[in-house]
Amino acid sequence: MLDYQSLIRFEDIDLDAPKLQGLDLLVGMRGHADAGHVVSQVRTELLDSLNPRLIASFDTDQLINYRERRPQISFLGDHFAAYQPPSLELYLLTDGLDQDFFFLTGPEPDLAWERVTRAITALVEAFNVKLTVSFGAMPMPVPHTRPMGVTAHGNRADLVEGISSWAPTAELPASFVNLLEIRLSERGNDAVGYSMHVPHYLSEAEYPNVAVGALEYVGAAMELGLPTDRLREAGRRLESQIAEQVSGNPDVQKMVENFETRFDQHVPETERRSLLVSIDAEVPDGEELANAVEAFLSGMDDQGGSAVSDS
């Protein structure tokens, strides 16, 4: 009945433990585009800060094309060591509000997409996952001097409607998490995702602001208190570097000004609905959301930075 026996190795834990039932699942996979290094930054922040406990590991030998994505290895003068195989893993994390959730993270599978989606949907059923949330980022012709945009998608209207700053009808290269969202929706499971918009001239650099934005959106959707302080500080340290590089390069400065003009023309100053406000504009009860509200609102105004690429 379950299609994960040959793909997943579980740790020595009680899979039927009540504490593993009815949680939310966050999915962050590095795919063909990890604009602003959003997935790697969020992964590092969560695994460093939220007491990760490994639940299961996927057999990446069945899923990764090593000729296309070479693992790293060290050469120590006269021998090789420290081979770093790819890892796709499911963790149990505990947020700052003492709430548990699952985090599935690692490289996007190159192979067997349908088998992996069946395995993950089986896990969703086995653990009675309430909501699956994914995140990512895409390069866009937008300026870093304007509020960061997002495209929300999924089958939960209360977590999607009124959120997106760009919601086109388009044909796009698929990602694994796109397929997973479709398959979960087909089975009647709740699934949403948030694709952050990264200025294309910053997309190859590590851009802390996009990781802050992703954590705020998924944290609000899952009602979690997720850590952003270190990322905010990293963004502040890079603000002056961006300003210096832009001001010192007339071509880049003109490009940013053009993006600002286009942004202001095509993205009017309309107030998008906050995920921390319910559909009828009632703020959810609970003292635990107070910190999340403050972090979300301050984050929408906070402009981080990173090194400007030459593209």
3-state secondary structure 214-239: HHHHHHHHHCCCCCCHHHHHHHHHHH
* Confidence at residue 185, expressed as pLDDT on a 0 to 100 scale: 98
pLDDT at 207: 94
pLDDT at position 268 is 56
Contact between 299 and 216 (Cβ < 8 Å): yes
User: Could you tell me if residue 170 is inside a domain?
Assistant: yes
309 within a domain of the structure (yes/no): no
Residue 140 resides in a domain: yes
Q: Is 106 exposed, middle or buried (0-12, 13-18, 19+ CB in 10 A)?
A: buried
* pLDDT recorded at residue 28: 97
Taking the C-alpha atoms of residue 6 and residue 9, their distance in angstroms, rounded to an integer, is: 8
Residue 114 within a domain: yes
Average pLDDT, the chain: 86
3 state SS of 295: helix
Q: What is the CATH number of the domain that holds 196?
A: 3.40.50.10900
Six token digits for residue 168 = 């086109």
Q: Which residues of the chain have pLDDT under 50?
A: 1, 276-306, 310-311
Q: Please give the tally of structural domains in the chain.
A: 1
**233 in any annotated domain:** yes
In a domain, 308, yes or no: no
Could you tell me the pTM of the whole model? 0.85
Enclosing domain of residue 62: 8-301
Residue of 183, 135, 131 whose CA lies nearest to 22: 131
Residue 4: the pLDDT is 67
